[in-house]
Every structure is written in structure tokens, then in C-alpha cells.
Structure 1
Amino acid sequence: MRPEVLNPLFAEVETLDGVGPKLRKPLEKLGLGRIRDVAYHLPDRFVERRAVADLDEAGVGEQIVVALTPTEHRASRSPRGPYRILAQDAMGNICALTYFGRAAFTGKKLLPVGETRWVAGRLDQYDQMLQIVHPEQVETESSAAMGRLLEPVYPLSEGLTQPKVIALVAQALAKLPQLSEWIERGQLDKARWPSWQDALHLAHKGPHEAARDRLAYDELLANSLALMLVRESRRKRQGLALQGDGRLRDRLELPFPLTGAQRRSIDEIAGDMAQGAPMLRLLQGDVGAGKTVVALEAMLVAVEAGAQAAMLAPTEILARQHFETLRKMAEPTGVMVALLTGRDKGRAREGTLMGLLDGSIDIVVGTHAIFQDSVAYRNLGLVVIDEQHRFGVGQRLMLSQKGKRQPHTLAMTATPIPRTLTLAQYGEMEVSKLDELPPGRQAIDTRVVAMERLPEVVEGVARHVAGGQQAYWVCPMVRGSDNESDDLAAAEARFASLKARFGDDIVLVHGQLPPEEKDANMQRFADGAAKVLVATTVIEVGVDVPNSTLMVIEQAERFGLAQLHQLRGRVGRGAEKSTCLLMRSNELSETARRRLALMRETQDGFRIAEEDLALRGGGELLGTRQSGDTPFNIASLEQIQRLLPIAHEDARLLVDRDGGLDGERGQAARLLLYLLERDYGVQLLRGG
């Protein structure tokens, strides 16, 4: 049960003045459903703004507030063109208030002809005319908020304005309770950090580095504490001590000898499984490093010891690929491998369920369907979770509840992760690393090609296909936007243009296709019936077609380094030499140039991951930003690198000295877990 002192912060956002059903929707789009969420909705940036009597007082590029009277609305002839509202100041100077896309509706509503409005924004110049693009505020009269020297700029959704968010934040901050301090006093003094309450107030008032650091540290400490509690909880639980005798593993007929890293990882996993406490280990391996073989060896250890094993994949395509791979490799052992997904129905499904219950099925591969309530196991001893970054800590806990005793858990990821971020995302796990590639894997010829050479690339793909090989063509988005240049980067548009050249030899796969169509197209490519696969990053992991030896990545600068590395890893899986073409736009930032240059230089995923982190700094993480990339809302990558080791050590000391968090600071740390909703830590505190 949540501590009573926090209840006011978890009240619905409608309890704030001025929030009704109409405002609730745009707030929910931003994840602002409760007062706590509003208090933690920090500004993206701050602008210095000056109130001016007329435009003659302002300079181009300056942030200003000025009274303007609209005189004319001008719509563009093109639906993608600008919507301009001509307005004049008190001296008759003309300024265009310019909107693009759907924002034009906002301009029409807020700026009627003949009615003076106070407008806040950046004054620019276009084609000899002054203009303000997408004014940040439009009010009927000047307010104290508009004329601030330093004004917070918050993330918005349609239906919200900056003044409204500023007013709601002020109300939320007024409801902050006094909480005991959970950060160790020495750390607070050394870093000169404010209290939790003061930090939130300061973070909304200006670019206060100490306040932001303190709030980031809170997140890192809460996450580390929750992960520590998970680890301690597992150590105390009774698991299945599974000691294999090697009889099944000795029958495996592998096409290549195991690398030293594979043998080392297998020994580490087998050693963990032989213990009474449930294993929780992460197998981190580069593209093509042979994680599936290691997972099969681990699952055979479980079967040798009289238990069952289950492998969870994030998608049905990947589950089916794993099933086929494991079934073929395990065939000499006589082990029964089955597939179970959400689409399996009728007798086939019933037969699989019965086999899991009576123990005739030794290994099952599938999606989340293998952990539904209707699925029961005779003796589940090992759970293997592939592409672990797709599943959170709470899901890891849920997946381990199926056995009579808590099964061992082996998580795998093909995304090389920098050491600091491994600590942040998998701090409750032991880690095994596959840092060697199997013998015979050829280096992939990686080249950077300008987009203007597109016709040459298309002809090159045609020659490649005519020679009997297959090719991937990856785009960064499914379909284009209002920006015409985006059409070139859209999978649907590229598929349509290439289909005229390749006819029935080309298929399209992206996440918005119906599952049946997506699987059918993927299967056509895997079987060799289709020669070219146009796709988004849905093929980033798990797709294994050895005959595909060419990868074209369109507008490669839009992808992160690690994501480019994953995509490149889809080729180079057979005996033939493979090529990866990184097609770039004409105008590149310096960071984008360095990324693409590094892709040419190395195929070491661990080096790429570290460089990706260094190049991104406080920006995105490991590829284009996706939900779940990091468990943090406030902490930037720079802060994670700098503060996480300190927070992790502090959490370790707290748990080691006071495992139940019953001391004075431990009780305050409990409040932090509830406040930041580290639900898995809260669950363990409750004895769950």
C-alpha cells in the first residue's frame, strides 16, 4: 500500500483547477494523468524573451513579446505550404505569423483579423519580410508570464498551451509534501544538491544543473535499489539445482567448433544452473556471435536434469525462426521441440498444451503465449528470453513464475550495450559476453553512397539479384510525412518505385502490415521466392537468410550506430561475400559523418556501442529513440555515465547494510521507490 504522505501526488489531474474532461485528453497524451506526473513534467529548454513596444525595437533572431493586429490570412496553394497571417504592430510594421501543417488551424483560431493579440516567439526574416514561425504564445492581453526574462518551454500536445502548463505545474508544485531525505548526507554535501522539493521547484525555474542532477540521481538510485532487491530476492528463493550429465549435448552435430567465448559462457551458465538459487544471467553477444547455440546447450542441460525449457521471443517471426533452428540442431539428440504462439488454435494447440503438461515436450519456443494462464508445465526449469531489451524488469519477474519452483532465467541480447547502460538496465543480472565471432565469418564490405546515386544502386541490386543472390532494402519509416523529402525514406513509397523494376521478385515488410501478410512476405523471402525485401527496422533482429548478401540502408544518417550495426548483421551469414551500402543525404551533421565513418572502419559491436554512447552524449540511446531504451525519464546519457556508478554503489550499501530498508534512510528510500513507481521494487518490499 502506498504511503499516505504520497497520496496527494497520485491524485487525478482533474483535481487541479482548470482541468476538465476537455483538457484531460491532451494531458494524457503527454502521460500527465496525475499530479505527480505534472510536477515531473520538466521544461525542454528555457528562452530569454524581451517585451517590445514595436518591431523596430527588436533584432532578427531575438525572442520577443509584441502586440500585433492581424490584417490578412494567406493560405498556400500547396497543401504542404505555409499558412501565413499578416499582422502589423503599433507603428504599422508588417510581420508574417507563419504556420505549417495542422498548426494552421491553431493560427486561424487564435489570430482573427482586426483583433490585437500579444504574440511571443522568435523574430526571423524570410524573403525581405519579418516573420515569427509557429508563435509559442498568443494571448488576448500581456501577462506577467509572457514577459518573463527566462521562460520555461514545456513539451506540448494539441490542445495545450505554454501558459496553461505553467499554471498547472505551479499548482502541482504547491502540493509537494515534505519527505525525508533518501540520499546519503555526504553525497548531498559533496555535490551541493538541493533537497527533493527544492530541486523540483528549481528545475522548473531555470537551467539549474544541480537540481537536474539531483532529480536524475533519484531516478538512478531508485532503479538500482529495485534491481538490487530483485537480485537479493532471487538469492533467497529455492530454485531447481539442475546438473546435466552431457549425454544430450554430446550428440549435437554443430557445423562449426565452439569459440572460446561460447565455451566460457556455457560453463558459467551451467555452473549457475547447478546451484539451488535461481540463475538470472544476461548473455550479451554481438551479431552472429552464436547466442542460439549457447542457449540450446543451456536448455539441454535442463532436459538432461529432467526439467523442461522455454524460449520466449518478442515476435512471431522470430519465434518461428528460432523453432526451426533449434529443431534442426536438436534433432540428433531426440529432444522434442515445440512451437506455441498466439495464433495456434484448435487441436494443434491442445496437443502442445498436453505435451507441456505431461512432459513429453522438452523445449517450447514461442511468444508471450507460452506464459499464459492456460499453459502449464510438468517441470519448467529454464526460461530463455531472447532480445531481452524488448522486455522490462517487471516482465522478467512475471515470466519466472511458471515453474513449481522459480526456474532459472537466461536473457539474451544481440545489441552490444555499453558497460554503464548494462548496469542501468540489467543491474540485477550476472553477465556473460560473447566477444568472439565463429570461424569462417567474413567481413562485410561496408560503403557509404550518396542518395543522388540511387539509380546506380537500383541497377546494382538488379545485377546482384540476376546473379542468384537476395537483397534487403531498409527505410527509416513506413510512409512519408508532410515533408516531401521524407517520401524518399518511406518503405511504402520505395517499394512502389522498386516494384516497377523487380515485379513479383520484391516483397514489403513493416510493423503496420497485418501479421498474416507480414509473415507471408517474410516467408517468401526466406524461401527464396522473393529476391528483394523492402522493410523498416522490423528486420533489425532475428532474420536469418544466408542467401541474402546485400544490405541497402536508405538515409542511413537517420539511424543510430548500434541500429546500423544490427541491420548490417542481417547479411554475411553465408559462404558468399556480403556488402552493406549506407545511403546518405547530401547534407550531414558532423556527428552523422563520424557515425558513418565508424561503420566503415569496424564491425566490432562493442566498440560501436561505446562510440554510439559517446557521440550521442545527452541525446538518444542505441539507435533511434524508442520506448524502453532506458528506464529513465529525466536522467540523460551523460548523467547516467557520470552518476550511475555512484548511485549503484549507494544502493548496494543500502541493501547490504539494511536488506529490508527498515532503517531511517531505508524508509526514505522506500518512499522514493513508490514515488518513482519502480513497481518491481515495491512488489518485493510488500513481500510479493
Structure 2
Amino acid sequence: MRPDILNPLFAEIDTLDGVGPKLRKPLDKLGLTRVRDVAYHLPERFVTRRAVGNLDEAGEGEQIVIQLTPTEHRAPRMQGRGPYRVFAQDVVGNICALTYFGRASYTAKKQLPVGETRWVAGKLERYGDMLQIVHPDHVLEEGGESLQRLCEPVYALSEGLTQPKLAGLAEQALGQLPRLAEWIDPGQFDKNGWPAWSDALKLAHKAENASARDRLAYDELLANSLALLLVRADNRQRKGRALKGDHSRRSKLDLPFPLTGAQQRSIREIEEDLAQESPMLRLLQGDVGAGKTVVALEAMLVAVEAEAQAAMLAPTEILARQHYETLRQMLRPTGVEIALLTGRDKGRSRESILMGLLDGSIDIVVGTHAIFQEAVQYRDLGLVVIDEQHRFGVAQRLMLTRKGKRTPHTLAMTATPIPRTLTLAQYGEMDVSRLDELPPGRQAIDTRVVGQDRLGEVVEGVGRHIGSGRQAYWVCPMVHDNESLDIAAAEARYAALKEQFGDTVVLVHGQLDATEKDAAMARFASGDAKLLVATTVIEVGVDVPAATLMVIEQAERFGLAQLHQLRGRVGRGADKSVCLLLRGEALSETGRKRLALMRETQDGFRIAEEDLELRGGGELLGTRQSGDTPFRIANLEQIQRMLPIAHDDARLLIERDGGLKSPRGEAARTLLYLFERDYGVQLLRGG
């Protein structure tokens, strides 16, 4: 049970002053649902602003405070698609655009009436021939002088939130921090000169403070390592079932290609694990197109040959359906019964599948999280395969692996090559098999970097491509780390391309409901639609071999790992494929290196290692950037520097105090609850 001292931190966010139903929605989008979440929503950076009399005194890229008078409001030509701009002039008549996306335009209409002077604070940028401030941080009628030279925290926002509002909530949350017993090893604590936990959080919100940030990152790394090691220790104590196949089903498989050496090696490692009574916990790490599905199929058939069942869990309905169709085709000659179960299955169809799993007439089930709901019972679940495993928490995995009479074996898969440094962080409780060899016959993808100024030529090229009956993807850029703005950008590009190419263009993004998304994907997969415009929802698992062209807009905004995943959606058939990386005008040195590496290699493991190097200097590793880390606070540099120490610290603590009952052990339990790794505590006997 969570210690009472933490209860105020886990109170709902609307217990803070000023949070009502209207504000909850944008807070929810950021994952801020409780007081604790706000306390740990650390500033992305701190800004110091300079007041300028007119725009001539300001430098591009500078944070400024200036008095501007709006002269014109200009809405986008198509309702809701594109930016809303307020043109304003300084005291000498220079014009600057104040640019808003999405619903923020409603705020602009209220705050910036034409002809009335306002203090505006924000970052001055150049867009073509125009100076602009995108989403000003502050718009005030008076008192703008107070905004200059402040060391002001800048938080990640979502639509409907402002910096002052979030800063106010953070201040309230920090006022509720309790004093907690110290969980860090005393020697480590003294050696680093770290502040106490509550002091570290307060300092991290006030100004750049490396010591406070390091301490909070170490807490997170220690909590993660402790939880993973407790899972592993618990798994070793559990009784599983040895699964030994007789090749009766596998011998009937008619694979269209020979297995690679890496596939054969991985299958041997998995078979050896399955033959033990101790439940397998293995990660199958493979590059895009390395053939993980076939390895998983071989493992599932071992379970079926041993008269047990297998379940495959996918993160999305699109992916679950795709796996089901692929496996169903491969299994035809074997006589194995396979079913698909998603949250959409209702009535008789669902009842029939549930009955088949309970009586054992269904050998393999593929599905979304629906397959570990309470109503789903198995006759004898022997193996769980989890695809794109980084999308599922350890707690979800544990729910599924408690479904068997005995603990089933677990094979987790990921198509995101992970640097060896991070494997410990993400999969510290697992053994790892790597598919580092591509099947023979896969053609290299011709990757080219093209300037955004040649957009017209690219659109013409796409027209010729789809006009010849082939298919293409168009991936829209990430905008200001804001999903609503990403979608606005995708909708605007979709509207422009649809105007040019007609009904053959479809759109997929994260806020479409499952039916709309499936309908668009089905049209594209069948070949009825020729061009799929998307946000990054297509980065994993979508398999349309006839699609041979990929356009990625403003490619420099994406992380290398994500670019590699996106590129992997083409090059899946026999025809030559092309990937065009459209780059913006202002390209940083890191951006240039990223795009050069993409042109140079298709080795996902090399890309992952180089990505780590390029991003290692303290850039925050957010979920938008990689999708493959369990950390919100620790950045790459901190992970590399401190994770091995935290892991050793956790291991020693468990060796000396397996039940976490000493004073430090009790404090470590509090840490696990604080970081919501309390499944680790539940696994302790008497925990």
C-alpha cells in the first residue's frame, strides 16, 4: 500500500487552485493528472529576455520584450488549417507577425485588438521575408518591463495552457512536497553533494541547477533498476512449464525464404529458454525488416506442439490485424487455429473467441490489450509474445503473464534498435537476442536529402509516381512538440495534396478514431488509395509492399531512430524504393549530421549508436523523440553516466536487504511508489 505521506502528491490535479474541467483537458494531454505529475514536469529551459524599443534593435532567435500595435488579423484560407497571423507594428513602423496555430487563435483575437498597443514577449524568428513570434509567451496591456532579464522557466505546453498558468500550478505543487527519508546510498549522496529530494525539485524549477537535476535523474534511474531487478528475481522463483516441441507443426511451414543466420541463432536461444521450467524473459531486438515475426511464429509453434497456447500482444489495432493476417497465411498448412481479439470485438464473435481460448480449441490469439482483460481466460497459456514492447509498461506485461496456470514464458520484440547503453535501462530484467542481419534480397533504399525550397518539384514527382499506379507515403513534420499542431500541419498538407491529386489521397493521424484510421489504412493497403499523408503514427509495423516512395517533410525535426523507422515502411517489396528527406532552410550542425548518416547507412544498430552520440550532450530524451525510453527526467548523458552506478546500487541493496525492510529499504519502497514502479513492491513477499 502506498505510504500515507505520499497521498497529497497523488491527489487529483483539480485539487490545485484554478484547475477546473476546461483546464483539465490540456493538462491531461501532457500526462499531468495529479499533483505529483506537475512537480515532476520540469522546465525544458530557462529564458532571460531583453526589452527592445523596436525590431531593428533585436537579433533573430533572440528572446525579446517589445511594444507592438496590431494592424490586421489574418485567418488561414481554409478554416482551422494553417496559421492564424496577427500583423503588428513597432513604434517606428516595422511589421512583425504574431503567429498562432490551432485553437490558440481564439486567444489572439481577445488579447490583440487592432489599434491597441500591447507588450509582447517571445522569440523573434524569420520566416521567409517576414519577422514573426510564434505563440508569444506573454501578451500584457501594461507592466511589460517586468518581463525582461528574468530567469523564467519555460515548460512544455499543450493547446489551452500558458506558461504563467503552468508556472503557478508548479508553485502550488512544490508547496505540498513532504520531507521524505533518504533512499540514496549515504556514500553516493555525500560524494556528489546532492540536495535532499524536496530541495532538488524546488531548485530544478527555479534555475539551471545541474546538481538538482542529477539527483532527480538518479532517483528515476534507481527506481527503474530496483523494479526491474525485483521482477527478474521474482521470475526466477516462479514455477513455469517446460515447453519442448516435436517439430510436427513447424515442419509443415512453407516459408518463402531461407532463415538468416541471426534468425536461426535467435530461435535456438528461445528454444533453449522454453525447454526450462524457469519462465523465459527474453527480448528479441531486430532492425526494420529483419524477420522478427518468423522467429516469433517458430516460438509460438513450439508452445502449440507442447499442447500449450500462445498469445501475441500488439500496441495498436492496425498492427494486431496485420500480424493476424500475416500469421494466418503462414499457418495455413499447419492446421493451427489462430484468432484475433481486439477491443472492437463484441457479442457472439467475442463470446466464441473467449470460449475457444478457455476450451483450448484456439491455439494462438493475436490482439491488443483486450487479450489480458479479466474476462479472457486460457486453458493453458504457455507463451506470451509482446510486439513493440516499449509501448507497454512492465505492469501490463505482468498482468498478461499472470493469465496462465503457471507463469508463461515471455518473448518481447522491438523493431527499434536500441544502443547497448540503453538496453540495461529499458530491459534490465531480460536476456537479449539480436537480429542484426537482413534477409537476402532486400534492396537498399535510395535516400536523398532535398531542400524544402524544391517542394513543388517533389509534389510533381509524387504525382508522376502515383500516376504510374505506384503508392507513396507523405509524413508531416513535428511542430513545436505539440500533437494538435502536428495534426494541423498534416491536415493542411493533406488538403493541398488532395486538391492536386483528388480522392486517391488519404489521411491518418493520432486523433482519428479507430474506424476512420482503419478505413484509410484499408484503402491504402488494398491499393485503392495511392498516397497516404500521415503524422508519425505509421512509424511502426505498417506493411504495404507496393508503397515504394516515402517523403518526410522537415526531416531535421525528427530523431534518427524515428527517421529510420519511417524509412522502413518502404523497401518491403521487390521494387526499388526511394526516401526523400525534405529539409528546412535553417539546419543545425546536428541536423546536418543526422541527415548525412541517413543517406549513408541503413544499419539500424549503427544509426541507434550514432543517434545516442549526437543527442548525448544533455538533450532531453522525450517520448516524442524516441519512444523507447522509460524516463521522463533522466536525459541521455545522465543515463550513460549514472545508470550503471544506479543499477549496481539497486543490485547491492536487493542482495543485502531482499525484502526492503531496513530503514533504507523502507525509503526505497517509498521511491518505487513515488515513480509508480510499485509493481516491484507487490512482488516482495509480504509487500
Q: TM-score, normalised by structure 1?
A: 0.84
Match of 1:499 in 2: 501
Q: Name the structure 2 match of 1:74.
A: 71
Farther-moved stretch of structure 1 (145-154 vs 441-450): 145-154
- What displacement does 1:482 show? 11
* Displacement of 1:574: 2.9
Are the structure 2 counterparts of residues 310 and 223 from structure 1 closer, same or farther at C-alpha, using a change threshold of 3 Å?
same
Deviation at 1:653, TM superposition (A): 1.6
Give the Cα separation in 2 of the matches to 1:10 and 1:585: 43
The alignment partner of 2:598 has SS state of helix
Question: 2: distance between equivalents of 1:397 and 1:591?
Answer: 39
Describe the superposition over 1:348-400 as per-residue Cα deviations: whole angstroms up to 9, x where unpaired.
Answer: 44333332222122112222333333322211101111121222222111221
Q: Which residue does the alignment assign to 1:523?
A: 522
Aligned equivalent of 1:625: 625
Name the counterpart of 2:414.
413
Identical aligned residues as a percent: 69
| 1:483 to partner: Cα distance | 9.4
Asked if the contact 1:558–1:624 (Cα under 8 Å) also holds between the matched residues in 2, the reply is no
| Counterpart-to-counterpart distance in 1, 2:239 and 2:540 | 34
8 Å contact 1:242–1:302 — kept in the other structure?
yes
Matching residue of 1:607 = 606
Q: Is the 8 A contact 2:217 2:634 kept in 1?
A: yes
CA shift in 2, pair 1:360/1:482, >3 Å: closer
Code of the aligned partner of 2:86: Y
Alignment of 1:447-526 (within 5 A): 447-458=448-459, 460-461=461-462, 464=465, 470-476=470-476, 490=492, 492-500=494-502, 504=504, 507-526=506-525
Q: Following TM superposition, by how much is the alpha carbon of 1:210 offset from its aligned partner in structure 2, in angstroms?
A: 0.7
Task: Tell me the equivalent position of 2:675.
Answer: 676
Instruction: State how far apart, in whole Å, the 1-side matches of 2:454 and 2:64 are.
Output: 44
Secondary structure in structure 1 of the residue aligned to 2:591: helix
Question: For 1:68-112, what per-residue CA distance to the aligned partner results, in whole angstroms no more than 9, with x for missing partners?
Answer: 8x9x65333556564367798xxxx99999744366765776789
* Partner SS state of residue 449, structure 1: strand
Select between 400-409 and 672-681 the one with higher mean Cα deviation. Answer: 672-681
Where does residue 584 of structure 2 map in the other structure?
Answer: 585
Any gaps of 5 or more consecutive residues in structure 1? Answer: none
Distance across 1 between alignment mates of 2:571 and 2:132: 55
- Answer with 593-602 or 456-465: which moved more: 456-465
Give the deviation of 1:317 after TM superposition: 2.6
Map of 2:394 onto structure 1: 393
Secondary structure of 2:607 counterpart: helix
Moved more, 644-653 or 13-22: 13-22
Aligned residue number for residue 551 of structure 2: 552
Corresponding position of 2:285: 284
Matched, 1:647 2:646: yes
Q: Give me the whole-angstrom Cα distance separating, in 2, the residues matched to 1:459 and 1:134.
A: 36
Question: Which residue number corresponds to residue 45 of structure 2?
Answer: 45
SS at match of 1:76: strand
Residue 268 (structure 1) shift: 1.4
Once the two structures are superposed, what CA deviation does each residue of 1:596-622 show, in whole Å capped at 9, x if it has no partner?
211111110011112222223333659
Q: Give the aligned residue type for 1:671.
A: T
> Any conservation in 2 of the 1:234–1:278 contact (CA below 8 Å)?
yes
The 3-state SS of whatever aligns with 1:278 is: coil
Shift of 1:647: 1.2
Identify the residue that residue 312 of structure 1 maps to in structure 2.
313
Contact 2:359 2:378 in 1 (8 A): yes
Distance 1:131 1:538 in 2: 29
Residues 277 and 125 from structure 1, CA distance in 2 versus in 1: closer, same or farther, beyond 3 angstroms? closer
- Which has the larger displacement, 37-46 or 594-603? 37-46
Cross-structure match for 2:334: 333
Question: Secondary structure in 2 aligned to 1:74?
Answer: strand
Number of the residue aligned with 2:221: 220
**How many residue pairs align between the two structures?**
672
Tell me by how many angstroms 1:290 deviates.
0.9
Which string of whole-angstrom CA distances, capped at 9 and with x for unpartnered residues, describes residues 182-205 of structure 1?
Answer: 111222233222221321232233
Name 2:136's counterpart in structure 1: 134
Let me know the Cα RMSD of the aligned residues: 4.1
CA contact (8 A) 2:490 2:535 kept: no
Structure-2 change in CA distance of 1:555 and 1:114 (3 Å) = closer
Distance in 1 between the 2:453 and 2:564 partners?
A: 23
Bigger drift between 197-206 and 384-393 goes to 197-206
Check 1:11–1:140 CA distance in 2 against 1; reply closer, same or farther (3 A cut): farther
**How far apart are residue 420 of structure 1 and its match?**
2.5
Separation of aligned partners in 2, 1:485 and 1:320? 25
The letter of the residue matching 1:614 is E
Question: Residue type matched to 2:136 in 1?
Answer: H
Q: 1:306 to 1:114 in 2, by over 3 A?
A: closer
The answer for the alignment partner of 1:296 in structure 2 is 297
Distance across 1 between alignment mates of 2:383 and 2:228 = 21
Instruction: Name the aligned partner's letter for residue 493 of structure 1.
Output: A
Counterpart residue identity of residue 76, structure 1? H
Check conservation: 1:357, 1:376, Cα contact below 8 A: yes
SS at match of 2:548: strand
Q: Counterparts of 2:133 and 2:471 in 1: how far apart (Å)?
A: 48
Whether the 8 Å CA contact 2:97–2:132 is kept in 1: the answer is no
The residue that corresponds to 2:362 in the other structure is 361
Cα contact 2:476–2:489 (8 A) shared by 1: no
What's the offset of the Cα at 1:298? Answer: 0.4
Note the 1:376-387 alignment, pairs <5 A. Answer: 376-387=377-388
2:659 aligned residue = 660
1:307–1:362 contact (8 Å) kept in structure 2: yes
Distance verdict in 2 for CA 1:148–1:175, change over 3 Å: farther
Q: Which residue of 2 aligns with 1:83?
A: 86
How do residues 415-434 of structure 1 correspond to structure 2 at under 5 angstroms?
415-434=416-435
Decide which moves more: 169-178 or 396-405: 169-178
Provide closer, same or farther for how the CA distance between residues 36 and 314 of structure 1 changes in structure 2, counting only shifts above 3 A: closer
Report which stretch shifted further, 596-605 or 642-651. 642-651
Deviates more, 1:521-530 or 1:299-308: 521-530
Structure ID, larger Rg: 1
For 1:625, the aligned partner's letter is Q
Distance 1:108 1:211 in 2: 40
Q: CA distance change for structure 1 residues 292 and 55 in 2, over 3 Å: closer, same or farther?
A: closer
Once the two structures are TM-superposed, the CA of residue 55 in structure 1 deviates from its matched residue by: 5.2
One-letter amino acid of the counterpart of residue 417, structure 2: P
1:241 is the counterpart of 2:242: yes
Deviation, structure 1 residue 15: 5.4
**Any idea what the Cα deviations from partners look like across 1:433-471, whole Å, max 9, x if unmatched?**
100112222222222233444454455455555666x32
Contact 2:74 2:86 in 1 (8 A): no
**Conserved 8 A contact 1:478-1:510:** no
Instruction: Report the counterpart of residue 376 of structure 2 in structure 1.
Output: 375
Distance change (3 Å), C-alpha of 1:683 and 1:75: farther
Given the superposition, is the C-alpha separation of residues 440 and 687 from structure 1 closer, same or farther in structure 2, using an over 3 Å criterion? Answer: farther
| Cα offset, 1:572, TM superposition | 2.5
TM-score for both structures, normalised by structure 2: 0.85
2:292 and 2:339 map into 1 onto residues whose CA distance is: 20
Distance (whole Å) between structure 1 residues aligned to residue 126 and residue 6 of structure 2: 50
Matched residue SS, 2:683:
helix
Q: Provide the C-alpha distance between the structure 1 equivalents of 2:229 and 2:676, rounded to a whole number of angstroms.
A: 15
| Aligned counterparts of 2:412 and 2:156: Cα–Cα separation in 1 | 35
Displacement after TM superposition at 1:327 (Å): 2.2
Alignment of structure 1 residues 182-193 onto 2, 5 Å: 182-193=183-194
Query: Residue 111 and residue 570 in structure 1: after superposition, are their counterparts in 2 closer, same or farther (change >3 A)?
Result: closer
Please name the residue that 2:79 is paired with: none
* CA–CA distance in structure 1, aligned partners of residues 398 and 483 of structure 2: 40
**Helix, strand or coil: the match of 1:439?**
coil
Q: Aligned AA for 1:5?
A: I
Q: Return the offset for 1:573.
A: 2.6
1:204-225 deviations in Å (ceiling 9; x for gaps): 3321111111111111111111
Q: Is the CA contact 1:283–1:431 (under 8 Å) kept in the aligned structure 2?
A: yes
Query: Do the aligned residues in 1 keep the contact of 2:477 with 2:555 (CA within 8 Å)?
Result: no
Q: Give, as a single letter, the amino acid of the residue that structure 2 aligns with 1:185.
A: P
1:635 CA displacement = 1.4
